[in-house]
Structure formats: structure tokens, C-alpha cells
């Protein structure tokens, strides 16, 4: 760390130390000697003792105590700083640029500590600061360092890296004024960085801080030659480095734990390292993720999916292989397609079912015994996949002709259909393009695949819904139905090449993969991912923690395979039907390139000598010394003991009890009365407007209803409690900070316990809360971690339209027609004779709109409106409707859907004129 040093923020205060000798002389001054006179009455005082003694001069140690107290005050006011930063000649504003991706998450705490120290230094120097995160860039906004210090807890790394386009946009939106830049780098090279660096250098000095440990990440595991191969990657080629890789999953009791660990060593000068991990199939199937021990980063986590869980497939054929004709075996092509990506089991059906395979394949089996059929039905109903292939035996069988067999998806006609047969085709048929609802949608169909024979499905009302592939003439080629929790799938052709060329093509393997027969689903395989839609199940955050996907939209297979990670495509687990795919931060081809900064740029590490302000310590020491001076003066005068000591002790006890009684007086007051609050945005103008709006709404409620609210509050999500406030108004601004995880936990608890948040984008809903509006984008980011139910535009019969006033519009300063509330339950139906549905007694936890209600409600202390609404009488009418909406909103929060019952029907019908 080096030698400690002390500096002063206000060194001119030290000049007051010159006065200490003068103070010493004044205190040591001796008054003139008294004139001695002999008084006869002195004899009467002989033998008496005076309890209060007065010294003829101040003791030297008391003078020293007082001088030290004054010196401590002077030093404290001078602003002493331990380990002051190097003096900077520039007093220009400071822009802090953070890469903000997963690569910097491992040292995030050190970064935040360093950024906080720089903000403290900027506050001492009187410099304004702006902070941008390149993974979620916004326009730079220079403000007081104190504002950014309050927002630091909400700044978190993202599970993706900055894109070149984002860096270009930042370079274009930089202000033209001069400022210095502190670039907090994650250690990786990013496209577009040189151009942004040039733009920043054109405006002032640029300093870079970067972790000198280097970036280490983990590629997805792969299964090769019976072992798991794990690959680690690092930026640069330094010396030898060893890491530990852990395999996490559920043990047989369902408890999450580390199932296996293995060391991995990077050789000197090597950027990659690999290790083989041999595990039993049962243990391998339990692994959910691999991660580097002790490193909190999305790049240090490799999620596991179906590619590592080799499915067990039971193959059962209706006849033995023909001697010498292996290619005519019903199972030959299936065996070749499955053997590399699945565990193949062969034998009798009754022997294979107890092993509980994932898939059972029946190749040209027409008749099952009663015991086999019952056991197979039970297995499928519990979630198994039964895959059947046609053949001569199935075509000649009378089973499933007159009534549907539970183990067949459709009823079949007798004899089948073939080229030159009784039900002859003129020529072999090709496969028709797969429908969008088919699991095979998007697969390319080779021109050489032709079908010469097949079994034909009988017409049935359910046939169209069960066809997932058909021939060019519209006849079904693959049909499917559900049975309990499982599925039954029938290929209307043989599993060998006797009836079609399908088993000879790569399409055959791709179709098996889409049916989740294989475990080789690869996110990098464009052919297998094409034409599919994948729904996110769980996603990783920047620290590598797995979280629920919540409201993230599904992505196409093409995007999941090749699109760069970002807000719309986050690393995590994605599902399509029975298939589960992991999109990790790294893939097998990713290379990590270290950041290469020009020699002219100053680069330093995060570990810096901490800067501490010692003013408080010196002033506290001065208070202690002054208290000691009081005690010493009482001691010298002989008045320290007796009742005075007891009085001091009693006073201290009363002060302690008073402090305890006054603990959190605001919380106590807010819990006794109705109080509304708004979320602090950090924008002083918007915060003052929100407070004035809630004050105006509270006044309106006081005069028009039985609700008598206390003055509204401004609450900070990071420090304040929400439970006291039934309604919270949240104005949306593009630059307000993202709350921390702890704040979101409080928000979700508040919403689940009956509170309501009124989100107001204040943009008249010009973009429909979409990404084209800055406020809309911010609302999407703010609301993503919240537990918000499905929403709908407020219907005409919602309780909000009649809780106090009868309303159809809900204007504020703007008059957008659409506001969003919790969607009504599916079973909410209109009762005969009533003009509205019978809703439950719940309160919508959120109301979303953009009408800027606070501006319409805002009043000053005299009750005058602060902002204009519309023009003339129409504007005042709109303001009145805004107040009525606010009254209805509060009554809905406080009373729920009480006006959904039939008690109020006569009055409502009378008011509605019905």
C-alpha cells in the first residue's frame, strides 16, 4: 500500500494555529497582587474551611487540554484527508464510462469501491459527474456526485458485452463541452472502442482502470468418447494459472449441491485449457451447470441442457434382421441415427419398460399383448414418448380400423398405398413443406426424398389437428396425439428405405431431434434451430445467478443460434416443446481478446490506497476534549461530586430514553393515518412535481370524501419502507437509476401484500410503452424484475369506473384513452340483469399510463393549480376529471371491488340511465 499521507481540503484554516501561543498567554495571565490590609475580624474566621476553593492561576495541564481542543477544531475544519489523491490540474466535469458486462462482474465490488472513491474526490473538488454503462447506454447527464453515489447500489453488471453499435451511439451523443473521462474497463477488447476513445480524448484527458488478473470464462461442456470435456478460456496468454471447476445439480434427494469438482490448469502462454470429467450416466444427467469456483460472473457459468443428458431409447422391431441384408433391417437406420447421441436399448418390450427409457420405438409392430399394451399405456401417460413406424405388418393388420387404438394417433385404412398397388400413385410423392404449427417447421426438405408407399389414415374429425407432416398430395405422413402426459407419434412409412428415401437423408435425424428422441440439440446447429420458437425458462444475470425469465419474450431458433446476447436475448435456458437448450455466454468458438490500450493512455488497477476524510475524527476528538475540560474545571473548583454527579447521570438516562422513544417518528406517524407517497427519481423538478400532485390529490380527498390523508412523502427505494403507503406514484424518467435487488424484493413484497403502484410515463402514451420512447424503454427495464400479473386496457365495466364517480375517461395533463390494469380472471362473466361482470375482491397491484396525472393534480400551499391543463373551460373540465380519477383510484385501493356486488346495482343503474 505504501506510506500513508495526509492532506487538507482547506489548508488555509491551518493559519489559525498561530493563535495558540496567544491563547496560552491570555490563559496564563496573572491578575495584579491584592493590597494586604489587616482586618480585626479575621480572628473569627480562623479554623473555618471553605468548601469551594478557587485557584490563583489555571493549572498547566488544564491549559494544555484546552489548547488541544482548539487545535482539534482547527484541524477538523481544515478538512484533513488520509492518503489524498494526486493533485489534478483539471477542474472539468468527469465522465465515468463503465463497460458493465459479465467480464467485469468478478471484481465488481472493487470497481464500485473505486468509483465511490472517485465520486468522493470529485465532490471535494466541486466537479460534476456523469456515469454511463456501455451495456445499457444512456445519454450522459452531468450532475452532483452525491446523486450518483445514491444510485451506485442499483448499478449491476449485465450478462452480455457492449455492442459496437452501442459504442458508436455513445460517441455520437457525447456533449461538445470539455470533460475528463475515467474508463472502467473489464479487460476485454470490444468492437467500436477505438472510435469512442478518440471521441473522448477530443474532449479531455482519459484515464483507464482495469483489473490486472485477467478474464477467465468457461465454455459449454460437451460429451466425447464417453467423457465430459470442459474447456476454460482466458484473455491473453500469461503464466500458469489453475482454477477449479464445479459441477452443480440435484442429488437423489432433490437437494442442490456440488456433484463433482476438477482442477483445470492453463499452461504458460496458453489461452485455453481442457479437462476430462468421467461420470456415470445417472450422475451426468443430474448436472444443471458447471461453474468456476470463487468467480461470480455469467461467463464463469456453463449451463447444461439436453446435449449432455443422453436419452435412453428402447428399440423394438416386429421381425428379426434378415440374414445378410443388414440394410433392410427395420432398426438399422434408427440405430445409426441414435447411437452417437443416445443410449440405445434393444430387447423385448416387457424387459425394456422396467428400465424406464425416455423413448420407446416400435418398428412395424402391429399387435401387442394385453399386458404389453396396458404397461405401455401407463408408461406413455406418465410422460413417455412412443414413436411408431409403419411397415407391411402394420399395413396388413386389422387393428385400429374400426376404432382408435390408444397407442395409435389415428385410425388406418387396410392395405396401405403404394406405387403400382391397388391404391396406386402415378409416381412417388415428395414431402410437403412443414406447416408453421408443426414441430418440423423450418427444416429443409431434400429434393431426393420420395415416398413410394405408406399407411393411410382414415378420415376423422380430429385428423387435421394430429397431422404434423404430410405429402405433396395432402395425405398424412407423420401424425401425433397426446396420451396423458406423454405423446404417441406415427411415421406412416417404414424405418428403413423400403418405402421411402427418408431414412437415407439428414432430414430423418433432424426430425428425430425435433421430436426430442435425440439429446444432441445444439444451439450452434442452424439447421436444427431453423423455424422454431424458443421460450426462455431461466436466464443468467451478470453475476451468474440463475433467475426466472418472467416476461421475456420468446426468440426464434435462428436468433437463439447466432444473434448476439443483449436485453432481448439473454443467456439462459430456452425450451421448445420437450427440447431444452442452453444459450451460454461463450460457445466453443469464442475467443477472449484482452483490451489493447494505446501507450498514451494511462492504465491503472482497481486496488488503490483508500482515501479517508479525517474531519469527523478531529471534531469528535475536540468534543471529547471540551467535555473533559468541563469535568476538569468542576474538579479544580471542588464541585464535581455529590448531587451534581447524580444529576448528570439522570440527565444522560433521560436523553437515552428520549432518543429511543423518538426512533423513526415518521414511520409511526405514517402507520396511523392514510399517506400517499411517490418514488424518488433523482430529478428534483420531477420529484417536486410528484409531491405537489399528491398534495393536491390529498386536499381533494379531504374535502370530497371521508378520507383525510396526511401530507404525502417522498420515499427512497433503497432506504425507506413501503408498507405504510397504500398508493405509490412512480413517475418515469429516462435517467432514473435501476433499483437494487433488495429494493426490488421490497417492491414485490409490497405488491403482493395489497399495495398499488401507479406508473406514469408522462408521455401521453405516444409509443404504447414501447421501445421507441425513452420513457417506455425505462419503464420496461424498471418493471422487468417486478412480479406483475397479466395486464389489459381498463375495460368499461372495471370497478375503477364507479368506485366514487362514474367515469369512462381517465385524463391527466394529457388525455390518452388507454391505461392498463390487472386483467380480469377468465371466469369473470356478466351476470344477468347487471351492467358489469362479477369480479373478485382484489385490487389491481399496478396501474400503467402516460397522462402525467401529477401535473394535473399539483397544487401549491394555497390550493392554486401549478400547471396548465388544456385551454379554457375544456382544460378545467379535464383537470376535474383528473381529480375524479384520482379519487376513484384511492377509493379502489382502500375498498377493493366492493361495488361489484348487487347491493349497489339499483343506484348504479339509475345513474347510468338503464
Kindly state the DSSP code that residue 503 receives in the 8-state scheme: G
Decide which of 211 and 608 is more confident. 211
Q: Which CATH number characterizes residue 504's domain?
A: 3.40.50.880
Residue 629 lies in a domain: no
The percentage of residues in the chain with a pLDDT greater than 70, rounded to a whole number, is: 79
Reported as a single tens digit per residue, the pLDDT across 471-520 is: 988 899 999 999 988 899 999 999 888 899 999 898 998 888 888 776 54
Of 55-69, 244-258, 864-878, give the lowest mean pLDDT range.
55-69
Residue 457 lies in a domain: yes
CA-atom Rg of the chain in angstroms: 39
Task: Report whether 286 contacts 298 (CB < 8 A).
Answer: no
Domain stop point among 465, 482, 514? 514
DSSP 3-state of 30: coil
The percentage of residues in the chain with a pLDDT greater than 90, rounded to a whole number, is: 20
Decide which of 258 and 57 is more confident. 258
Of 67-71, 382-386, 636-640, 853-857, give the lowest mean pLDDT range.
636-640
Task: Report whether 180 contacts 94 (CB < 8 A).
Answer: yes
- pLDDT band at residue 652 using 50, 70 and 90 as cut-offs: low
Task: Looking at the structure, tell me whether residues 159 and 238 fall in a common domain.
Answer: no
Reported as a single tens digit per residue, the pLDDT across 34-80 is: 667 777 776 666 666 666 555 556 677 878 888 888 888 888 887 77
DSSP string, 131-167: EEETTS------B-HHHHHHHGGG----SS---HHHH
Decide which of 309 and 875 is more confident. 875
Task: Looking at the structure, tell me whether residues 426 and 456 fall in a common domain.
Answer: yes
Task: Looking at the structure, tell me whether residues 300 and 322 fall in a common domain.
Answer: no
According to the model, what pLDDT value does residue 894 have? Answer: 85
Q: Could you list the residue range(s) of the whole structural domain that residue 449 is in?
A: 312-514
Task: Looking at the structure, tell me whether residues 265 and 328 fall in a common domain.
Answer: no
According to the model, what pLDDT value does residue 618 have? Answer: 84
Cβ–Cβ contacts within 10 Å for residue 785, how many?
A: 20
Q: Is the pLDDT of residue 664 over 60?
A: no
Residue 276 lies in a domain: yes
Q: Which CATH number characterizes residue 712's domain?
A: 3.40.50.12140
According to the model, what pLDDT value does residue 263 have? Answer: 92
Task: Looking at the structure, tell me whether residues 119 and 138 fall in a common domain.
Answer: yes
Task: Looking at the structure, tell me whether residues 349 and 482 fall in a common domain.
Answer: yes
Kindly state the DSSP code that residue 830 receives in the 8-state scheme: B
DSSP string, 614-663: -HHHHHHHHHHHHHHHHHHHHHHTT-SSTHHHHHHHHHHHHHHHHHHHTS
Task: Looking at the structure, tell me whether residues 280 and 395 fall in a common domain.
Answer: no
131-165 burial string, b = 16+ CB within 10 Å, else e?
bbbbbbbbebbbbebebbbbbbbbbbbbbbbbbee
Decide which of 741 and 466 is more confident. 466
Task: Looking at the structure, tell me whether residues 876 and 750 fall in a common domain.
Answer: yes
Residue 185 lies in a domain: yes
Residue whose C-alpha is closest to residue 682's, from 721, 730, 737, 722: 737
Domain stop point among 610, 637, 656? 610
Domain stop point among 446, 479, 514? 514
In the chain, the number of structural domains is 4
According to the model, what pLDDT value does residue 324 have? Answer: 42
- pLDDT band at residue 798 using 50, 70 and 90 as cut-offs: confident
Pairing of strands 579-583, 713-715: unpaired
- The three cell numbers of residue 508 are 430423418
Residue 48 lies in a domain: no
According to the model, what pLDDT value does residue 732 have? Answer: 92
CA torsion, points 692, 694, 700, 706, in degrees to nearest 10? Answer: -150
Task: Looking at the structure, tell me whether residues 305 and 337 fall in a common domain.
Answer: no
Q: Is the pLDDT of residue 326 over 50?
A: no
Q: What is the overall mean pLDDT for the chain?
A: 81
Q: Hunting for cell 386389422 — which residue is that?
A: 398
Phi and psi at residue 133, to the nearest 5°:
-115, 120
- The three cell numbers of residue 474 are 395432402
Reported as a single tens digit per residue, the pLDDT across 327-365 is: 457 788 888 888 777 778 888 888 888 888 889 999 888
Strand order in the sheet with 612-613: 6-8, 80-82, 612-613
According to the model, what pLDDT value does residue 321 have? Answer: 45
CA pair distance 537, 886, nearest whole angstrom: 38
Task: Looking at the structure, tell me whether residues 509 and 552 fall in a common domain.
Answer: no
Q: Is the pLDDT of residue 541 over 60?
A: yes
Task: Looking at the structure, tell me whether residues 387 and 286 fall in a common domain.
Answer: no
Decide which of 387 and 839 is more confident. 387
Residue 302 lies in a domain: yes
Of 86-100, 444-458, 749-763, 884-898, give the lowest mean pLDDT range.
86-100
Residue 640 lies in a domain: no
Q: Which CATH number characterizes residue 561's domain?
A: 2.60.40
Residue 504 lies in a domain: yes
According to the model, what pLDDT value does residue 4 have? Answer: 55
Task: Looking at the structure, tell me whether residues 544 and 562 fall in a common domain.
Answer: yes
Reported as a single tens digit per residue, the pLDDT across 78-124 is: 777 776 655 554 678 999 999 989 988 888 888 888 888 889 888 88
Amino acid at each position: 500500500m505504501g506510506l500513508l499521507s495526509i492532506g487538507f481540503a482547506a489548508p488555509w484554516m491551518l493559519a489559525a494555529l498561530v493563535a495558540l501561543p496567544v491563547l496560552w498567554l491570555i490563559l496564563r495571565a496573572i491578575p495584579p497582587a491584592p493590597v494586604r490590609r489587616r482586618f480585626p475580624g479575621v480572628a473569627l474566621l480562623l479554623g473555618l474551611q471553605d468548601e469551594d476553593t478557587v485557584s490563583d492561576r489555571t493549572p498547566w495541564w488544564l491549559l494544555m487540554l484546552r489548547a488541544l481542543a482548539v487545535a482539534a477544531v482547527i484541524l477538523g475544519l481544515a478538512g484533513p484527508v488520509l492518503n489524498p489523491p494526486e493533485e489534478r490540474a483539471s477542474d472539468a466535469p468527469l465522465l465515468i464510462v463503465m463497460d458493465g458486462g459479465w467480464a467485469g462482474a468478478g471484481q465488481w465490488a472493487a470497481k464500485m469501491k473505486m468509483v465511490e472513491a472517485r465520486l468522493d474526490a470529485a465532490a471535494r473538488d466541486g466537479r460534476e459527474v456523469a456515469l454511463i454503462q456501455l451495456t445499457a447506454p444512456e445519454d450522459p447527464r452531468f450532475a452532483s456526485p452525491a446523486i450518483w453515489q445514491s444510485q451506485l447500489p442499483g448499478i449491476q453488471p449485465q450478462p452480455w458485452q457492449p455492442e459496437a453499435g452501442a459504442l458508436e451511439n455513445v460517441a455520437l451523443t457525447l456533449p461538445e463541452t470539455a470533460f475528463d473521462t475515467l474508463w472502467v474497463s473489464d479487460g476485454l477488447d470490444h468492437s467500436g472502442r477505438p472510435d469512442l476513445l478518440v471521441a473522448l480524448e477530443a474532449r479531455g484527458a482519459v484515464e483507464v482502470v482495469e483489473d490486472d488478473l485477467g478474464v477467465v470464462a468457461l465454455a459449454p461442456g460437451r460429451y466425447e468418447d464417453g467423457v465430459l470435456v470442459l474447456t476454460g478460456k482466458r484473455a491473453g496468454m500469461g503464466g500458469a494459472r489453475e482454477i477449479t471447476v464445479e459441477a452443480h445439480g440435484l442429488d437423489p434427494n432433490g437437494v442442490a449441491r456440488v456433484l463433482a469438482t476438477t482442477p483445470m490448469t492453463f499452461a504458460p502462454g496458453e489461452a485455453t485449457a481442457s479437462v476430462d470429467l468421467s461420470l456415470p450416466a445417472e450422475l451426468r444427467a443430474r448436472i444443471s451447470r458447471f461453474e468456476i469456483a470463487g468467480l461470480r460472473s455469467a461467463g464463469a457459468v456453463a449451463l447444461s441442457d439436453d446435449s449432455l443428458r443422453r436419452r435412453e431409447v428402447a428399440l423394438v422391431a416386429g421381425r428379426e434382421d434378415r440374414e445378410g441384408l443388414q440394410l433392410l433391417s427395420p432398426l438399422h437406420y434408427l440405430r445409426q441415427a441414435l447411437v452417437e447421441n443416445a443410449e440405445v436399448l434393444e430387447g423385448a418390450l416387457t424387459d425394456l419398460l422396467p428400465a424406464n427409457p425416455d423413448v420407446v420405438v416400435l418398428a412395424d409392430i402391429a399387435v401387442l399383448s394385453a399386458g404389453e399394451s396396458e404397461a405401455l399405456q401407463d408408461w406413455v401417460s406418465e410422460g413417455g414418448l412412443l414413436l411408431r413406424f409403419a411397415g407391411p405388418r402394420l399395413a396388413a393388420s386389422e387393428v385400429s380400423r374400426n376404432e382408435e387404438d390408444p397407442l395409435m394417433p389415428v385410425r388406418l385404412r387396410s392395405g396401405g398405398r403404394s406405387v403400382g398397388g391397388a391404391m396406386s400413385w402415378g409416381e412417388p410423392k415428395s414431402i410437403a413443406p412443414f406447416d408453421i404449427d408443426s414441430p418440423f417447421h423450418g427444416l429443409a426438405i431434400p429434393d431426393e426424398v420420395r415416398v413410394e408407399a405408406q399407411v393411410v389414415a382414415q378420415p376423422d374429425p380430429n385428423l387435421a389437428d394430429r397431422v404434423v407432416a404430410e405429402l405433396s398430395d395432402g395425405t398424412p405422413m407423420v401424425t401425433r396425439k397426446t396420451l396423458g402426459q406423454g405423446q404417441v407419434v406415427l411415421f406412416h412409412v417404414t424405418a428403413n428405405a423400403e418405402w421411402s428415401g427418408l431414412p437415407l437423408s439428414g432430414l430423418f435425424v433432424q426430425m428425430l431431434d425435433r421430436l426430442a428422441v435425440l439429446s444432441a440439440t445444439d444451439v450452434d446447429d442452424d439447421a436444427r434451430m431453423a423455424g422454431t420458437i424458443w421460450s426462455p425458462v431461466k436466464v443468467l444475470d451478470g453475476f451468474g445467478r440463475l433467475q426466472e425469465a418472467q416476461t421475456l419474450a420468446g426468440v426464434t431458433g435462428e436468433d437463439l443460434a447466432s444473434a448476439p446476447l443483449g436485453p432481448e436475448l439473454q443467456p439462459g435456458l430456452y425450451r421448445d416443446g420437450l427440447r431444452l437448450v442452453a444459450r451460454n455466454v461463450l460457445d466453443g468458438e469464442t475467443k477472449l481478446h484482452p483490451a489493447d490500450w494505446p501507450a498514451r493512455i494511462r492504465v491503472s488497477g482497481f486496488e488503490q490506497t483508500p482515501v479517508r476524510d479525517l474531519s469527523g475524527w478531529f471534531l469528535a476528538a475536540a468534543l471529547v476534549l471540551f467535555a473533559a475540560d468541563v469535568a476538569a474545571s468542576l474538579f479544580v473548583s471542588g464541585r464535581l461530586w455529590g448531587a451534581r454527579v447524580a444529576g448528570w447521570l439522570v440527565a444522560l438516562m433521560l436523553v437515552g430514553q428520549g432518543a429511543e422513544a423518538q426512533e423513526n417518528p415518521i414511520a409511526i406517524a405514517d402507520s396511523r393515518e392514510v399517506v400517499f407517497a411517490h418514488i424518488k427519481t433523482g430529478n428534483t423538478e420531477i420529484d417536486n412535481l410528484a409531491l405537489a400532485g399528491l398534495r393536491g390529490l390529498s386536499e381533494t380527498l379531504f374535502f370530497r370524501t371521508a378520507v383525510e390523508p396526511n401530507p404525502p412523502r417522498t420515499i427512497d427505494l433503497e432506504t425507506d419502507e413501503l408498507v405504510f403507503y397504500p398508493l405509490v406514484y412512480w413517475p418515469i424518467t429516462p435517467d432514473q437509476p435501476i433499483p437494487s435487488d433488495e429494493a426490488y424484493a421490497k417492491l414485490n413484497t409490497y405488491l403482493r401484500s395489497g399495495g398499488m403502484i401507479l406508473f406514469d410515463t408522462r408521455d401521453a402514451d405516444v409509443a404504447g410503452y414501447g421501445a421507441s420512447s425513452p420513457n417506455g424503454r425505462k419503464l420496461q427495464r424498471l418493471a422487468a424484475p417486478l412480479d406483475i400479473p397479466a395486464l389489459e386496457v381498463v375495460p368499461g365495466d372495471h370497478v375503477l369506473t364507479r368506485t366514487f364517480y362514474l367515469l369512462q375517461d381517465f385524463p391527466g395533463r394529457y388525455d390518452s384513452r388507454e391505461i392498463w390494469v390487472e386483467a380480469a380472471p377468465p371466469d369473470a362473466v356478466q351476470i344477468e340483469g347487471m351492467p358489469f361482470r362479477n369480479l373478485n375482491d382484489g385490487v389491481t397491484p399496478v396501474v400503467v399510463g402516460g397522462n402525467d396525472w401529477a401535473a394535473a393534480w399539483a397544487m401549491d400551499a394555497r390550493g392554486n393549480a401549478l400547471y396548465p391543463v388544456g385551454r379554457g373551460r375544456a382544460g378545467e373540465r379535464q383537470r376535474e376529471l383528473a381529480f375524479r380519477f384520482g379519487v376513484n383510484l384511492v377509493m379502489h385501493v382502500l375498498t377493493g371491488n366492493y361495488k361489484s356486488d348487487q347491493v349497489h346495482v339499483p343506484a348504479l343503474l339509475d345513474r347510468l340511465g338503464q
